[in-house]
Structure 1
Amino acid sequence: MLKHIYIAIALFAVAGCCFAQKTPKEIVKGNVKTTDGKPAEFISVSLKGTIFGGITDEHGNFEFEAPAGDYTLVAYSISAHKKEYPANIKRGVSNYFSDLTIIENKNQLEEVVVTGQFSPQSLRNSLYKVRVINNQTIQQKASTDIKSLLNTEVGIRISNDMTLGESNFEMMGMSGNNVKVLLDGVPLVDRGATKQSLSQIDINTIEQIEIVEGPMSVIYGTDALAGVINIITKKARVLSDRNTYSVSARIQEESVGDEYEFFDGKGIHNENINIALASKTGLYVNGGYTRNVTDGWKGDKTGREKTWPPKDQFYYEGMLGFKKKGFHAWYRLNYLDESIFTPINPNPENVMSDRNFLTDRYTHNFQADWKLNNRLGLNVVSSYQDYKRKTRTIITDLNTGQKSLSTEESAQDVSKYKAIFARATAAWTFSPELSFQPGIEYNKDEGSGSRIKNNSEISTFAAFLSAEWKPYEWFSVRPGVRTIIDADYDAPVAIPSVGTKFSLNHDMDLRLSYAYGFRAPTLQELFFSFNNANHDVEGNPDLKAEYSTNFTGSYTWRILHNENIRVTSTLSAFYNDFRDRIVLAQGNRSAIHRIYSNVDKYKTTGGTFENSMIWKNLQANVSFSLVGRYNSLTENDELKNENLPTFRFSPELSTSISYQIVKTGTNLNFYYKFTGKRNEYSYDTDTKELYLTGLDAYHMADFTASQNLGKYLILNAGVKNLFDLTTVDNTATSGGHTSSGSSTLMGCGRSFFIGINFLLNN
């Protein structure tokens, strides 16, 4: 049945396209600026009461086709703020509308988001609650990796793996495979549950990051139970009237705690150069190189060993694209060469061991957007990823100087992963009130190595359909469904969702949504095999997908919104109920036997209260969140009389303040986050004791400043980890008494940085 629906929609789209071509159209062009004379980027411009219109580009220019006649041209910055202009579109002449303005200045324009949208939308018009880390924030934080960029974001927790030099991210109380990581809409291949891909993206290529909390499985498929992190990269600037070029470079030196050596050795050293050329014909090319290296952090280790291992990363990027009159296609190749070095102290026999983790990651990405007419647009996204991680352990006999490869278990290993991904969607405007987005998606993952059985693979072919209906100006609804046509696992038949948005008045919006999320089992969970004296872990090819039921709601109130000041508050809440959760369960072979199984359920609930203010040159944000994680021991028959709470809640508070001194070209920025205590219950079935275990609360803060040095240079400097945080205690409670457990490493102490950015363009 669903197959026939897709065929009918495709036929309607083709018919609509052909019908549109029968009516003569004239080209309508123009430019929109803000009140301070800057380009009004990515705002809607349309002819009132018609389906004809478009979106301005990064230079404020727009272009679309419409029949000749008298109209009212409307420029929307956000739905509550619009300006109307009379427009007489004539036949056979140039219809160009200049000197169009909106009432917002550059800082007051709301961010434009693309994640989960039919076309670029302002934050206000999006049916999803989206959080944006824009390019200005990325530059102000002067981050050298995504971890340091996100460490003060509310609702996101970061944990560290010292051995592997990697970090994992948690959203809405869920982490690992439940968070979808996208690069320009393409899912990134990862070796396991830890999202090491987030630590292997060049920070210098990022334009903005969009974070959507809650299942996005209809559009993005598996892994999107907790949400989506979409990393959007920079694109070349293309103008129709002249050729352009740009040359950018960055050098940043940063200490790791109190450890630092200039340019090489101790500390963090980040250098980048990027060159872009664009022709007025629409053809553009750019390439870049980044060196991001650190000598690690000694911490409390002695001898050769280090608490945080040294890491060298070298990024290479090349891009070729074409952009002209509603058509944009580009190919990008990214290559990462990464090495993590783990030195180990000599043993009593004076034999020294060095373990190296060597990674090669190739990412090929081809995308195309084609707007056939005012009603129909097509989008194609495809990628091929090749990921190889080698473990190499070298033994050195200090008595003789002889070196050899270690023969110990797991000392030498090669893991290879390949991923093929393709998605094709159409955005079809049936009428001003009704739009459709049908799509198909194919995903194939291959894995090989000593811990993956038989060079295994897993593939999925899916189709999805989403629609947006806006019967009234104050109300819109977006239902959607995804079906798995073919999969190498037990997949759900249908994954539905529905989102609604109510504009209660010009200053208040209400969003309510329901989504059914799912997560396919990974290659590791299906085909993993690791057996030695200390491990007996195996995958389960009979696993079925996890799924979740999600409800979210948010209420936004623009308390003050004028040309001088803007104050906005958003109150949101969520509830997730996860079923068939995949966990490592006790096997039946031995005491250490573990097998992946669908045996667990899990729930999360909570909410956030976000507040933002823009007043002249001051921007401030204060956000509070409370996340509750399910206490599975409430289902234990032995603990029914303990009156255990269903959820354990942990709070977070985040603040950011930015102030610009226009006269001197100076920006001052302060970022702070309080992460509250996180405790969960554990039960010892032998002693019959109930334990409360978890992490203590901690504080993180950064202060950064930037100074314009003429037309082409910007100087950055600041202090990170102001409170000198290194470890956080793990505490345990038993029998009414509290004792300290081990410590968890959260940071390397207070660090200092200085850097300079260069930009030359025309």
Structure 2
Amino acid sequence: MRFRLVSTILLIGTQFVAAQSQIENLKDSIVSQQLDEVIVTATRTERQLSSLPLPVTLVGKKQIIKSGTVRLNEILNEQTGIITVADESGFQGVQIQGIASDYILILIDGVPLVGRSAGNFDLSRLTVGNIKQIEVVKGPASSLYGSEALGGVINIITEKPQTEALSGNASYRIGSFTQQDINLDLKQAFKKFRYGFFVNRFSSNGYDLNEDVEGQTVNPFTNYTLNGRLYYDFNDKLSLFTSARYYDQNQDAGFTLDSIQYEGNTKEREWNTHARLDHKWTPNLTVAYELYYTNYMATELLADPISTNVLSDSDFNQKLFRPEVRGSYTFASENENNTGLQNGTLTAGMGIQLDELDRTYFDETVNFTSQYLYAQYNFNPIEKLNIIAGARFDNHSEYNNQFSPKLALRYQLNNNLSIKGSVGYGFKAPDFRQLYFDFTNSVVGYTVLGYNVALDKLQELVEQEQILSVLVTEDELDKPLEAESSIGYNLGFNLKHGRGNTEVNFFRNDFKNLIDTRIIARKINGQNVFSYMNFDEIYTTGFEINSSYKITDELNISAGYQLLYAFDKQKKQDVADNQVFVRDTESGQSVALSQSDYFGLVNRSRHNANFKVYYDIPSASTNVNMRVLYRSKYAQYDTNGNDLIDNYDTSFIDGFVTLNAAISKTFYKNLTLQVGANNLLDYTDNNIPTMPGIQGYLKLNYQF
């Protein structure tokens, strides 16, 4: 089934290319469609998507609306090479080019969001109700964005008001499990003043995938998002943008332990304030002055309602404040009037970032301080060649200074074919948890200590006579924990063929100094004490192909495929050296693993594919769409104790296909009725809490 689907998609892509000779005479090619596809995330300046030398995915508002998705994780999961992965808590993080959620930076209007669970950012916190477009930069982007952009950047761009008349929309969607999504979006523009206001309410009664286990798989929840944006143009050279966003969620919580049903709730609150003053000093020089503050809070309380004994009572409160100044200068070209070339655009910026976290499992509130500066030069040395060269320097209070360079090139071979390549350095700073965590599981009895507090806390455990043996020396815990880093390579081409477009990108990401847990001591109770260390070296490599074709003005189809290999370098070498064993279930003997038995990293699928059809029926004011998604098998954790994923492990999720579809009908020009369903093939798995079977919905939207 896997190979049939992949072969079908590739065959369709091949047919697109073959159809070129039959449609050369058609005027409305895909080129004209891309003229408005302007993005800012990849270069921090406005660039047309088709002209970029970097691998970028753009998801526009029309695609979001037609798909019927309501949260960010849903729409991203339908893009090639972007996988959403649920952790043990059911939170959905994102994986790009096989790189985990910990290393993907999430932005909204160019500024970062905070609040991660064990490094994982829950994308379902973000509604798509007022999004203009989503920009995804794949591969290292630390040369512009610093830490956490090691594997890529996702930037959510909200809509800017355009018309003087009050405009916007109001919508209501109800679906399976009493899932309700309500939106109100208002926008208006005057001569110098513009404003936008958006409110969203999202709720569900939850669902249960396993009746044999007490409680629900996903508990009932309700959340609200409010976003206000103000724009003021003082004159044609000076403009102000301000925004404020507030998010609040309450969710029931439950947990059964020793036949006792603990009950309670979890709460999340987040608010962001953002102000930016844009000043056009000269026709060639523009400077932006920016202030940004965000605060994310989460609490959890679980207690026995009868005895009032508390099982869990935790708090998480993270703050970030960041002032930044950046400018962009375009150099005039002597040949500009004759060739349309420019000598280039220089973009540079500097800023300070102040991070603070107050958490239950920390002894005290901890703070990070960092200063940074970056520069990037974008130029065309000859007519068909575009080069982007940039670098960033970060000075941090808790780890060694980081220098992050990047180089990208794009060459236009002819009107239909271009090639592009890039190489860049990415890094991720050790986070608060890895440095200051102090947690002991009250049920099992193990302990996890942050690297910076491990020595002192371990000594306390020794003095309390809880330690049986210490497995590391003092010197091993005395060196500073280094930032994780990677070098990413991308090489690809873009082919336009009549009404079609095909893009191929080969990638390789090499990581070193990855931070993972390590046993540093054994406790008298038989459990372990863990801390964090730099020791992992991994790589992800493969390729992606995206092909789209406009059969008629009304019918569009597209297909995408990713091949991914992701391995730990040391474990791969250990397997090659016959140093990794597994017990043969038939003979009962331990046998050495072969290289073909080593599957790769946790939660990575070898194959991912999608096929999409969008059909408009203008005479009936109707559009229909279908999206087929395929993910091949992957493993969730090691089950045979050899510390890697191999074909003998039993935690594999078999490959599966999901089918999403929606049909929309517009009445009286302003009122749209949409009926749709996700996961129409009714796929479920108790080990995937985000897959509860068929999810139908009905949506009404009024545009004014």
Question: Offset of 1:511 from its aligned partner?
Answer: 0.6
Equivalent residue for 1:659, pick from 611, 615, 622 = 615
1:662-720 CA-partner distances (Å, limit 9, x unpaired): 11111111111111123598764599998345332111110011111112211111111
Match in the other structure for 1:712 = 670
Please say which of residues 149-158 and 383-392 is displaced more in the overlay: 149-158
Structure 1's 320 and 550: CA in aligned 2 closer, same or farther, altered over 3 A? Answer: same
Q: 1:245 to 1:357 in 2, by over 3 A?
A: same
* 2:324 equivalent among 416, 420, 423: 423
Aligned to 2:451, which of 540, 557, 561? 540
Structure 1, gaps ≥5 residues long: 1-100, 257-266, 398-403, 561-565, 729-742
Tell whether 2:635 aligns with 1:672. no
- Confirm or deny that 1:521 pairs with 2:451: no
| 2:610 corresponds to 1:650 | no
d(CA) in 2 for partners of 1:385 and 1:283? 25
- Could you tell me whether the CA contact under 8 Å between 1:516 and 1:548 is conserved in 2? yes
Partner of 2:458: none
| Contact 1:186 1:421 survives alignment (8 Å) | no
Deviation at 1:183, TM superposition (A): 0.8
Q: Which amino acid aligns with 2:579?
A: L
Match of 1:400 in 2: none
Q: What is the CA–CA distance in structure 2 between the aligned matches of 1:385 and 1:688, rounded to whole Å?
A: 38
Letter in 1 for 2:668: G
User: How many angstroms does 1:286 deviate by?
Assistant: 2.8
Q: Secondary structure at the match of 1:547?
A: strand
1:494 is matched with which residue: 403, 412, 430? 403
Contact 2:303 2:310 in 1 (8 A): no
Report whether the alignment pairs 1:508 with 2:417: yes
Instruction: Give CA-to-partner distance per residue, 1:593-620, whole Å, 9 cap, x none.
Output: 1111111111110111110112311111
Superposition pairs of residues 50-89 of structure 1, within 5 angstroms? none
- 1:597 to 2:530 alignment: no
Aligned partner (choices 389, 392, 395) of residue 482 of structure 1: 392
2:578 touches 2:594 (CA, 8 Å); kept in 1?
no
Aligned to 1:704, the other structure's residue is in SS state strand
- 1:719 and 1:726 mapped to 2: Cα distance? 15
Q: Distance in 2 between matches of 1:225 and 1:698?
A: 29
The residue aligned with 1:228 is 153
Letter in 1 for 2:117: G
Paired with 1:489 and 1:459, the residues of 2 have a C-alpha distance of 8
| Inter-partner Cα distance in structure 2 for 1:450 and 1:315 | 26
The percent of aligned pairs where both chains have the same amino acid is 22
CA contact (8 A) 1:393 1:405 kept: no
CA contact (8 A) 2:417 2:496 kept: yes
- Give distance in 2, aligned partners of 1:752 and 1:528: 42
Shift, 1:362, TM fit: 1.0
Distance between the aligned counterparts of 1:708 and 1:107, measured in 2?
Answer: 23
Q: CA deviation at 1:275?
A: 2.4
Would the alpha carbon gap of residues 744 and 290 (structure 1) be closer, same or farther in structure 2, given more than 3 Å must change? closer
2:455 corresponding residue in structure 1: none
Summarize the Cα distance change of 1:429–1:311 in structure 2 as closer, same or farther, 3 Å threshold.
same
With the length of structure 2 as denominator, give the TM-score of the two structures.
0.82
State how far apart, in whole Å, the 1-side matches of 2:537 and 2:270 are. Answer: 34
CA 1:406 to 1:378, structure 2 compared with 1: closer, same or farther past 3 Å? farther
Match of 2:518?
585
**What is the deviation of 1:295?**
0.7
2:504 to 571, 578, 583: 571
Taking a change above 3 Å as real, the CA distance of residues 582 and 123 of structure 1, as seen in their structure-2 partners, is same
> How far has the Cα of 1:406 moved from its partner?
3.3
Q: 8 Å contact 2:102–2:148 — kept in the other structure?
A: yes
2:496 is matched with 558
* Equivalent residue in structure 2 for 1:251, among 163, 172, 178: 172
Give the distance between the partners of 1:328 and 1:474, measured in 2 at CA.
35
Which one-letter code corresponds to 2:286 in the other structure? Answer: G
Does the 8 A contact of 2:30 with 2:500 survive in 1? no
Amino acid paired to 2:567 = Y
**Aligned AA for 2:501?**
T
TM superposition shift of 1:159: 2.2
Change (3 A) 1:137 1:692: same
Instruction: Determine whether 1:621 maps to 2:558.
Output: yes
- Could you say what the CA RMSD is over the residues aligned between the two structures, in angstroms? 2.7
Note if contact 1:154-1:673 (Cα within 8 Å) is conserved in structure 2: no
Secondary structure, in 3 states, of the residue corresponding to 2:51?
Answer: coil
Partner of 2:207: 297
Q: Which residue of 2 aligns with 1:273?
A: 184
* Residues 380-408 of structure 1 deviation map (CA, whole Å, 9 limit, x = unaligned): 343111111111224323xxxxxx75333
Q: How does 1:629-644 map to 2 (within 5 A)?
A: 629-631=566-568, 632-636=570-574, 637-639=577-579, 642-644=593-595
Deviation at 1:285, TM superposition (A): 2.4
Unaligned runs of 5+ in 2: 1-26, 333-341, 453-479, 581-591
Q: Which one-letter code corresponds to 1:225 in the other structure? A: L
Mapped partners of 2:98, 2:378: distance in 1: 30
Give 1:294 shift: 0.5
- Aligned-partner Cα distance in 1 for 2:578–2:272: 51
Note if 1:701 corresponds to 2:655. Answer: no
**CA 1:118–1:550 in 2, change beyond 3 Å: closer, same or farther?**
same
Structure 1 residues 113, 250: closer, same or farther in 2, change over 3 A? same
1:189 aligns with 2:104: no
Q: Which amino acid aligns with 2:126?
A: I
- CA drift of 1:527 comes to 1.1
Give the letter aligned to residue 236 of structure 2. K
Paired residue secondary structure (1:285):
strand
2:571 is paired with a residue whose SS is helix
Amino acid in the other structure paired with 1:220: Y
C-alpha displacement of 1:194: 4.5
User: Hey, what's the Cα distance between the residues in 1 that align with 2:645 and 2:396?
Assistant: 44
- The more displaced of 700-709 and 427-436 is 427-436
Contact 1:379 1:424 survives alignment (8 Å):
yes
Matched, 1:325 2:226: no
Q: Work out the CA distance in 1 between the residues paired with 2:599 and 2:490.
A: 18
CA separation of 1:526/1:616 partners in 2, compared to 1, >3 Å: closer, same or farther? same
Mark the CA change 1:236 to 1:695 in structure 2 (over 3 Å): closer, same or farther: same
Amino acid paired to 2:487: T
Aligned CA distance change for structure 1 residues 201 and 510 (closer, same or farther; 3 Å): same
For 2:595, give the aligned amino acid: L
Instruction: Provide the secondary structure at the position in 1 that maps to 2:218.
Output: coil
Which residue of the other structure, out of 177, 188, 194, is the alignment partner of 1:284?
A: 194
Structure 1 or 2: more helix by fraction: 2
**Hey, what's the Cα distance between the residues in 2 that align with 1:211 and 1:382?**
24
1:218 aligned onto 2:143: yes
Offset of 1:181 from its aligned partner?
0.8
Q: TM-score, normalised by structure 1?
A: 0.76
Question: What SS does the corresponding residue of 2:619 show, helix, strand or coil?
Answer: coil
Indicate the SS of the match to 2:65. Answer: helix
